[in-house]
């Protein structure tokens, strides 16, 4: 499974698009505004550069594509204007260059697809002896038996072997990421990361567990094959703060300035729900319904491409309908949160 084929978010401006289902992501980005502004001013005041270069890694498309970059521009422009007035002299305005980086399938890349080399071509040239699909090895035996049977991610029923395989793959991938960034950045350059993390490395309350439950219901009803679930593992890992810190220190290219952990409710910012999604008359509690639809909206925008690649486009409506109902049931009984890690790094 090629990463660049399945990872891009849902494109366009339809009801299931990332563009119309990214308000929660925007709220996550807003949590790092203060850190971005602090580091941007620190670099500007220390170096007074003629040109400041900003790289947005993984910006996707839609309303959030330029949010983080705009924080840097706004704070420096405000500082620049304030100093101009105080000193009553005119200084030439610096140049900003903003680099948007994401997978070729995302909307903003359509303009450049024919002219820019693929990030994955570059990585394959440099790390040709390392697989780049980001799926951990060791989850299937030599005879084809799935070690994480019935799950698509780490759950409370997953074995230690499964957990260790995911952790090992994360450590390898994050190390490669840091090495690549260190080659691109100048000494003293700053990088702020937001990472979907976890409190415990075997946290059973992960939203992907609910996707897995919906898929298993479809298996029991004969809609999809059991083996298609057993051999499917979502190529991601939600690390703890400790695991992130250990990789940063072991790789050694960056000073760790800040590492913060915060939680945000699955259905935070529910008022921004996309109301174009079809109503479900079987569910009476409309407040819970809206909360479930909101969660389904951003999860479908992010996960549908990779899920449809594995299970087929024809079952996606059914899958996410079931997912919505299970989210509603979960939210009715307890609070569920995403854990986010905010990391501020300085190049050594």
DSSP codes joined into one string, 122-183 = HHHHHSTTS--S-PPSSSB-TTS-BTTTT-SS--TTS-HHHHHHHHHHHHHHHHHHHHHHHH
* Whole-number pLDDT of residue 132: 46
pLDDT tens, 231-269? 899 988 999 999 999 999 999 999 999 999 999 888 876
Per residue in 21-60, pLDDT (tens digit) is 777 777 788 888 999 999 999 988 888 888 888 888 776 6
pLDDT at 113: 46
Report the chain's mean pLDDT, rounded to a whole number: 81
Q: By C-alpha distance, which of 318, 115, 105 is closest to 211? A: 318
What is d(CA 205, CA 297) in angstroms, rounded to the nearest whole number? 19
pLDDT-derived band at 172 (thresholds 50, 70, 90) equals very high
What percent of the chain clears pLDDT 90, i.e. is strictly above it? Answer: 36
Alpha helices in 198-282 (DSSP H): 207-220, 226-230, 241-251
The reported pLDDT for the residue numbered 91 is: 63
pLDDT-derived band at 278 (thresholds 50, 70, 90) equals low
Distance CA 167, CA 165 (A): 5
Give, to the nearest 10 degrees, the angle between helix 207-220 and helix 286-311: 70
Average pLDDT over residues 276-301: 74
Q: Which of 51-65, 202-216, 283-297 has the lowest mean pLDDT?
A: 51-65
- Tens of pLDDT, residue by residue over 113-140, are 444 455 555 555 554 544 445 667 778 7
Write down the pLDDT at residue 188: 92
Lowest mean pLDDT among 251-255, 269-273, 309-313: 269-273
Residue 200 has pLDDT above 80, yes or no: no
| 19/60 Cα distance (integer angstroms) | 9
- pLDDT value of residue 340: 93
Q: Is the pLDDT confidence value at 144 over 70?
A: yes
Give the three-state DSSP class for 263.
strand
How distant, in Å, are the alpha carbons of 13, 60, 142, 220, 311 from that of 67? 18, 11, 46, 43, 34
pLDDT of residue 192: 92
Lowest-pLDDT choice from 19-23, 163-167, 227-231, 253-257: 19-23
> Would you say 347 and 253 are in contact if contact means Cβ atoms under 8 Å apart?
yes
Instruction: Compute the distance between CA of residue 195 and CA of residue 11 in angstroms, rounded to an integer.
Output: 22
Q: With pLDDT > 70 as the criterion, what percentage of the chain qualifies?
A: 75
Would you say the pTM of this structure is higher than 0.75?
no
pLDDT, tens only, 66-103? 788 888 888 888 888 777 656 655 666 778 888 877 76
86 three-class SS: helix
Q: What residue has token string 């799950």? A: 151
Residue 18 pLDDT > 80, yes or no? no
- Cα(167)–Cα(195) distance, integer angstroms: 15
- In which band, very low, low, confident or very high, does the pLDDT at 202 lie, cut at 50, 70 and 90? low
Question: In this predicted structure, what is the pLDDT of residue 114?
Answer: 41
Domains in the chain, please, with CATH? Answer: 3-129+148-347 (3.40.50.150)
pLDDT digits (tens, 9 = 90+) for 147-162: 889 999 988 888 888 8
| Measured distance CA(192)–CA(345) in Å, rounded | 6
């Amino acid at each position: 499974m090629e990463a660049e084929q399945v990872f891009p978010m849902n494109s366009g401006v339809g009801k299931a698009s990332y563009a119309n289902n990214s308000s929660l992501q925007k709220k996550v980005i807003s949590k790092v505004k203060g850190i971005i502004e602090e580091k941007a001013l620190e670099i500007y005041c220390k170096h007074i550069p003629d040109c400041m270069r900003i790289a947005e890694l993984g910006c996707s498309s839609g309303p959030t594509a330029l949010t983080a970059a705009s924080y840097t521009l706004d704070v420096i422009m405000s500082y620049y204007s304030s100093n101009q007035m105080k000193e009553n002299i005119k200084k030439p305005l610096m140049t900003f260059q903003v680099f948007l980086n994401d997978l070729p399938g995302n909307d903003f890349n359509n303009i450049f697809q024919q002219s820019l080399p693929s990030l994955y071509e570059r990585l394959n040239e440099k790390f040709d002896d390392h697989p780049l699909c980001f799926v951990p090895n060791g989850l299937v035996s030599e005879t084809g038996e799935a070690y994480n049977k019935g799950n698509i991610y780490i759950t409370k029923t997953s074995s230690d072997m499964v957990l260790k395989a995911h952790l090992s793959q994360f450590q390898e991938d994050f190390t490669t990421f840091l090495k690549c960034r260190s080659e691109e950045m100048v000494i003293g350059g700053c990088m702020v990361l937001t990472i979907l993390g976890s409190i415990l490395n075997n946290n059973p309350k992960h939203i992907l567990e609910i996707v897995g439950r919906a898929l298993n219901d479809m298996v029991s009803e004969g809609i999809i094959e059991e083996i298609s679930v057993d051999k499917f593992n979502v190529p991601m890992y939600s690390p703890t703060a400790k695991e992130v810190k250990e990789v940063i220190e072991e790789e050694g290219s960056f000073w760790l300035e800040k590492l913060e952990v915060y939680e945000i409710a699955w259905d935070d910012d529910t008022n921004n729900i996309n109301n174009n999604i079809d109503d479900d008359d079987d569910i009476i509690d409309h407040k819970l319904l809206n909360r479930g639809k909101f969660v389904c909206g951003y999860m479908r925008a992010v996960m549908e491409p990779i899920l449809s690649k594995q299970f087929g486009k024809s079952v996606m409506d059914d899958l996410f309908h079931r997912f919505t109902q299970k989210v509603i049931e979960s939210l009715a009984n307890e609070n569920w949160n995403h854990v986010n890690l905010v990391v501020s790094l300085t190049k050594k």
